[in-house]
């Protein structure tokens, strides 16, 4: 594929700094995008703010029509979009091809449900003092939402957040990762090609561009590392604007002695190696009850050894792709090297392979909780396995981390699995599966502890988070126009009103207690 020079993102003049986008397998430049500075970001956000009012006025149904057109455009361009995505990530075709259908699923779900999720809510009076009024809670969008995304899912990550934000009635400034911006730029191209209102803008660039977005928008939805998330939270606090943070993880898998070991080995391998381990919810450490440890490790190693790695093209021929860039490969290599130096053993994999940023799918044993491969987020194709005496030790070690994104529990006893889930300090637990919660749009997707603040998705909450609640009161009828608490109190009226209110509240209390 020829390199893409992105002109759609504003006017590309000769003065503007460009960033190279490289194919991780061979280092080839596959595109160039502008590294937007604060002035371009501020101007773009001003234009978005101006366009947002008419977008909000369309209502959820009207906005859903535009999102439906975007979905159709995505499906019409699916194969080309998957090519672009592969060119900047070197994902296997089977993994890259998941991203367009995934966004379409998000569009279908939220466009169908937005009118109900955003409908005004009639609220009952809490007691006699609020009885004279009709009460409503109304969901009004933040004018401009800034969506900042990482490189691991270049289409799906932006899609997860821009779809509900747009449907909520907000305009969106999207700042994709500088490592993989081409797919996000395609989203903006699609939005323009369908002729939609100018309420989606893609602002390419590095960290400073993201910081400029944080400095100008009304709500920040950030996905990325915990380190950057802390910076974003500090900047948001200074401006007193809210932020949602989806950050790093170190997700444990607990394999109990009563698990179906064949199933557990295949599931843990997939959970650890999908997208070459570059998933926030990846299985990053495995605790196995002692009686089945040897059997499980043998099966897991066999599964991992059977996987094919390489650059795929359109062939659906490989299972594991490359890491996003050299820096990421260096982290993975450091974690493995440090573990081995401290006494761990590599059962399969363990080193960089081929050209570019490939790292062999790796199983590590004899690891302990002092090692970086167990304490730090690796975000690569490594699976460290630890033997534990029992369920209690597994839970204690699983919780011994600063992170709290998700976990998986592998057992034939579902009730036991659910009991253990309630002891784990994480935002999601999959029983006999890994990563699955990510595909369930009706469930909240958020991290505890250093893994984030707030959550995305989760039915109505996933769209209402991009709105501010507005309280509206109105008289029930003309005879109740004059509120009894109004100034000025006429002579004697203050005493009468306060006695009356006291009596009403007391009567209300008695009635409630009688029930």
- Check binding of 280 to ligand NAD (CB under 6 A): yes
Using CB under 6 A, pick the residue from 56, 178, 360, 376 that binds ligand NAD: 178
Under the binding rule (CB under 6 A), the answer on residue 452 touching ligand NAD is yes
* Region near ligand NAD per CB under 6 A, out of 87-95, 210-218, 457-465, 479-487: 210-218
Based on the shown chain and the rule CB under 6 A, indicate whether residue 219 belongs to the binding site for ligand NAD.
Answer: no
Distances (CA, A) of 220 to 175, 202, 240, 379, 396: 11, 15, 11, 24, 34
3-state secondary structure of 483: coil
d(CA 222, CA 229): 7
Question: Residue 153 CB, nearest distance to ligand NAD (Å)?
Answer: 7
215 lies in the site for ligand NAD, by CB under 6 A: no
Report the candidate in 227, 181, 176 with the shortest Cα–Cα distance to residue 331: 227
Distance of alpha carbon 38 from alpha carbon 350, whole angstroms: 42
Rounded Cα distance, 515 and 513, in Å:
5
In this chain, which of 139, 151, 274, 296 binds ligand NAD, going by CB under 6 A?
151
CA 182 – CA 28 distance, rounded (Å): 14
- The reply to whether 284 sits near ligand NAD by the rule CB under 6 A is no
Asked if 249 is part of the footprint of ligand NAD (rule: CB under 6 A), the reply reads: yes
What minimum distance in Å lies between the beta carbon of 409 and ligand NAD?
20
Sign of the four-CA dihedral 146, 449, 388, 391: negative
Cβ proximity to ligand NAD, 202 vs 259, nearer residue: 202
d(CA 25, CA 318): 14
Residue-by-residue DSSP string for 150-181: -SSSTTHHHHHHHHHHHHHT-EEEEE--SSS-
User: What are the b/e assignments for 375-407, b being 16+ CB within 10 Å?
Assistant: bbbbbbbbbbbbbbeebebbbebbeebebbbbb
Q: Is 225 in the site for ligand NAD (CB under 6 A)?
A: yes
DSSP output for 271-295: HHHGGGG-STT-EEEEEEEGGGHHH
Catalytic hit among 104, 280, 284, 391: 280
Minimum Å distance from CB 214 to ligand NAD? Answer: 5
Which residue number, 1 or 327, has a Cβ lying nearer to ligand NAD? 327
User: CB of residue 513 vs ligand NAD: minimum separation in angstroms?
Assistant: 46
Q: Give the residue with the Cβ less far from ligand NAD, 180 or 348.
A: 180
- 223: contact with ligand NAD by CB under 6 A: yes
Q: Does 271 bind ligand NAD (CB under 6 A)?
A: no
Rounded to the nearest 10 degrees, the angle between the axes of helix 182-193 and helix 78-89 is: 160
Q: Which stretch binds ligand NAD (CB under 6 A): 127-135, 240-248, 344-352, 394-402?
A: 240-248
Is residue 177 near ligand NAD by the rule CB under 6 A?
Answer: yes
Determine the interface stretch with ligand NAD among 17-25, 142-150, 251-259, 491-499 (rule: CB under 6 A): 142-150
Nearer to ligand NAD, 150 or 350 (CB): 150
Q: Quote the DSSP letter at residue 410.
A: E
Rounded Cα distance between 421 and 415, Å, is 10
Q: Which of 95, 246, 376, 391 is catalytic?
A: 246
The beta strand positions in 274-405, using DSSP E, are 283-289, 345-348, 362-365, 382-388, 403-404
Q: In the stretch 370-409, what mask flags binding to ligand NAD with x, by CB under 6 A?
A: -------x-x-------------------------x----
CB closer to ligand NAD, 268 vs 426: 426
Query: The tokens of 406 are what?
Result: 């998700």
Whether 246 is a known active-site residue: answer yes
Interface with ligand NAD, residue 152, by CB under 6 A? yes
Q: Which stretch binds ligand NAD (CB under 6 A): 76-84, 242-250, 347-355, 490-498?
A: 242-250
Q: Which residues are catalytic, by number? A: 246, 280
Q: Which residues bind to ligand NAD, rule: CB under 6 A?
A: 148-152, 175, 177-178, 206-207, 210-211, 214, 223-225, 228, 231-232, 246-249, 280, 377, 379, 405, 447, 452
């Amino acid at each position: 594929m020829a390199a893409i020079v992105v002109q759609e993102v504003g006017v590309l003049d000769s003065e503007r700094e460009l960033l190279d986008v490289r194919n991780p397998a061979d280092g080839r430049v596959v595109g160039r995008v502008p590294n937007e500075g604060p002035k371009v970001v501020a101007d773009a956000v001003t234009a978005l703010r101006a366009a947002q009012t008419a977008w909000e006025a369309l209502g959820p149904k009207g906005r859903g029509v535009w999102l439906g057109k975007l979905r159709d455009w995505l499906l019409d361009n699916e194969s080309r979009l998957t090519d672009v995505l592969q060119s900047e990530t070197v994902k296997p075709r089977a993994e890259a091809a998941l991203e367009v259908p995934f966004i379409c699923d998000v569009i279908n779900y939220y466009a169908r449900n937005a009118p109900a999720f955003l409908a005004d809510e009639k609220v009952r009076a809490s007691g006699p003092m609020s009885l004279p009024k009709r009460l409503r809670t109304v969901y009004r969008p933040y004018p401009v939402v800034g969506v900042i995304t990482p490189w691991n899912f270049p289409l799906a990550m932006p899609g997860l957040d821009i779809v509900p934000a747009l449907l909520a009635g907000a305009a969106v400034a999207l700042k994709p990762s500088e490592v993989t911006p081409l797919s996000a730029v395609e989203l903006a191209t699609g939005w323009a090609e369908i002729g939609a209102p100018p309420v989606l803008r893609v602002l390419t660039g590095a960290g400073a561009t993201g910081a400029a977005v944080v400095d100008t928008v009304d709500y920040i939805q950030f996905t990325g590392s915990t380190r950057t998330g802390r910076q974003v939270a500090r900047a948001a606090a200074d401006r007193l604007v809210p932020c949602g943070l989806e950050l790093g993880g170190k997700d444990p898998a607990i394999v109990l002695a009563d698990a179906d070991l064949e199933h557990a080995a295949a599931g843990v391998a997939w959970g650890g190696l999908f997208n070459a381990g570059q998933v926030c919810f990846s299985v990053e450490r495995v605790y196995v009850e002692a009686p089945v440890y040897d059997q499980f490790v043998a099966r897991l190693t066999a599964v991992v050894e059977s996987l094919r790695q390489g650059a795929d093209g359109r062939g659906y021929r490989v299972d594991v792709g490359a890491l996003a860039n050299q820096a990421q490969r260096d982290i993975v290599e450091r974690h493995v090297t440090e573990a081995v130096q401290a006494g761990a053993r590599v059962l399969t994999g363990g080193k960089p392979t081929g050209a570019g940023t490939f790292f062999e799918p790796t199983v590590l044993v004899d690891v302990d909780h002092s090692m970086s491969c167990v304490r730090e987020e690796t975000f690569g194709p490594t699976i460290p396995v630890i033997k534990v005496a029992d369920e209690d030790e597994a839970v204690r070690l699983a919780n011994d981390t600063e992170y709290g994104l998700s976990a998986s529990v592998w057992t034939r006893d579902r009730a036991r699995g659910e009991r253990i889930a309630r002891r784990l300090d994480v935002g999601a637990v999959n029983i006999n599966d890994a990563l699955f919660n990510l595909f369930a749009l009706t469930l909240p997707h958020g991290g505890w502890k250093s893994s984030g603040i707030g959550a995305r998705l989760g039915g109505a909450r996933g769209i209402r988070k991009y709105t501010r609640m507005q309280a509206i009161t109105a008289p029930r009828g003309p005879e109740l126009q004059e509120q009894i608490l109004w100034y000025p109190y006429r002579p004697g009226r203050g005493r009468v009103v306060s006695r009356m209110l006291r009596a009403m509240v007391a009567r209300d209390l008695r009635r409630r207690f009688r029930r």
